[in-house]
Structure 1
Amino acid sequence: MGGQSVRTAVTLCAAGLLAASMSTAVTASASPAHTRPAHPTGQPDDKPVLVDCSFEPRTRPDTFILACGDGNSRLSSLRWSQWNGESAVARGVNSVNDCKPYCAAGTFHSYPVIVRLDRPEPWKKRPGTQHFTRLSLVFPAARPDGYQRTTTYPLWG
């Protein structure tokens, strides 16, 4: 193949992979079977929301993608025991891609996890709505390589 054809083929493959990863993130985070809209009636709620990868507010979602760009870390089977104005707590599973030898060929491993959301602040997209700005994962047993027993992430909004 000529240089131009190779460049075109590589560009098309890269675009296809990007589209596939984005559709996976949006589909998994926005699927009504796996999450609940934060305000089904359109009325404000006094409880903070969790903002997903497609910037939609959710309360008590069954699943949540931590790595929006590539989907290499996600939470599933979430069972919420608390969701109030200050924090939320759930138990579930964190599925993490080991990316060995590289992410596209990696293997997902599942780890039991306790999820805690806290630090609610006004959401810039909807100033009348509070959103959680920090997520902590506690691994009570095994955990992915390189992770601490407790790992904390700032959340987008």
Structure 2
Amino acid sequence: MLRALALSVTVAAIAMSNSVIAAADPQPLPTTYAIGKCITAEQPAQPEPERFDYNCDSTGVLQDMVWTSWDAKGAKGEGTDDSLECQPNCAQGTRLTNPVVVHAWNPQPAASSSKCPRGFLFYTDMTIAYPDGVPPWIKPDTTWDVGTDFVTVDGMPAVHFSGMKPNCRLF
């Protein structure tokens, strides 16, 4: 009888201990989606940004964005690309403004070691398509750099950023 009582007390203590631990665990944050580049104090991770610096240095900025979808399947929107043609160099280059159609998809978490905010999944692929003309450096079927290819999307010349990882510089 004494053993049965001791066993019951032990089981109850373990159950209570587990429930206290479970109660102490923080609740998971709701998932929020963001574009996986250029996260800073000035440009925090946010859903459906109206303005977004996609080159992290003001040479390529999406602005006046209106998003028609933004979820686990991806994001779709339209707006304006305000980009700098760095010819003969970025300091002397011309600003070009073009309407764009943007698609982003493949949301993934940031590396656990990053300074990125918790609760976000970042789109790791994005295309910026140009329906009414294209900056002179966009040449479909060529590659600008690793992870930056020039493609055609729905008949429009476009740039495809692949394998994007958020660059979270919050401080």
TM-score w.r.t. the length of structure 1 is 0.65
Aligned equivalents of 1:128 and 1:59: distance in 2? Answer: 12
1:128 offset after TM fit, Å?
Answer: 4.6
**Counterpart among 64, 82, 88 of residue 52 in structure 2:** 64
Give the secondary structure class of the aligned counterpart of 1:150: strand
Kindly indicate whether residue 160 of structure 2 is the aligned counterpart of residue 152 of structure 1: yes
The number of equivalent residue pairs is: 115
Q: Where does residue 103 of structure 2 map in the other structure?
A: 116
Aligned equivalents of 1:129 and 1:79: distance in 2? Answer: 20
Contact 2:79 2:100 in 1 (8 A): yes
Contact 2:105 2:125 in 1 (8 A): yes
Give the secondary structure class of the aligned counterpart of 2:33: coil
Give the secondary structure class of the aligned counterpart of 1:101: coil
The structure whose residues are more often strand, as a share, is 2
* Root-mean-square deviation (Å): 2.2
The structure whose residues are more often helix, as a share, is 1
1:126 offset after TM fit, Å?
Answer: 5.1
Structure 1 runs not aligned, ≥5 long: 1-42
1:156 offset after TM fit, Å?
Answer: 2.5
The one-letter code matched in structure 2 to 1:46 is T
Q: Which has the larger radius of gyration?
A: 2
Check 1:99–1:74 CA distance in 2 against 1; reply closer, same or farther (3 A cut): same
Percent of aligned positions that are identical: 22
Deviations 1:22-56 (A, max 9, x none): xxxxxxxxxxxxxxxxxxxxx72334222452343
Check 1:151–1:52 CA distance in 2 against 1; reply closer, same or farther (3 A cut): closer
Aligned equivalents of 1:46 and 1:60: distance in 2? Answer: 14
Q: Which moved more, 1:82-91 or 1:141-150?
A: 141-150
Contact 2:104 2:125 in 1 (8 A): yes
1:102 offset after TM fit, Å?
Answer: 1.5
Contact 2:45 2:117 in 1 (8 A): no
